[in-house]
Amino acid sequence: MFKAIDRPTSCEIRAVIKFWNARNIRPCEINHEISETYGENAMSEGTVGKWVRMFNEGRENVHDEKRSGRPSLATEELVRCIDERDRSNRRFAISDLLKNFQNISRSLLHEIVTEYLQ
């Protein structure tokens, strides 16, 4: 028996669905393989079926689509400011940034560091 893969990303599982679907494997069998490899709660059979339908309808991308909603508060100026501030030391913690940018929330700083400053 093989070891289950812990905490897979959604796009990783979707890539597996895309692969098995390209080989004409039925959604229930794909779900069985995913459950054995990634664990019982990795993805429901209904969700596997939904992704199989989307791939059959021509979808190529396994990543989430951009969603509408509240726009980010991360402006170009703010991103540049944070980047310049910590360019000399890339090993910093969000709490260090909070000391320098006290009027910005921890979640926004985290978003800037992870989404914009990679």
What's residue 29's pLDDT? Answer: 97
- Average pLDDT rounded to a whole number, residues 2-11: 82
The pLDDT value given to residue 1: 59
Phi, psi of 73, deg, nearest 5:
-90, 0
56 with 22: CB under 8 angstroms? Answer: no
11-15, 72-76, 98-102: least confident range = 72-76
The full set of domain ranges for the chain reads 10-57, 76-117
Its pTM stands at 0.58
Q: What is the pLDDT of residues 19-62, one digit of tens each?
A: 999 999 999 999 999 999 998 889 999 999 999 999 999 999 99
HEC profile of 59-116: CCCCCCCCCCCCCCCCCHHHHHHHHHHCCCCCCCCHHHHHHHCCCCCHHHHHHHHHHH
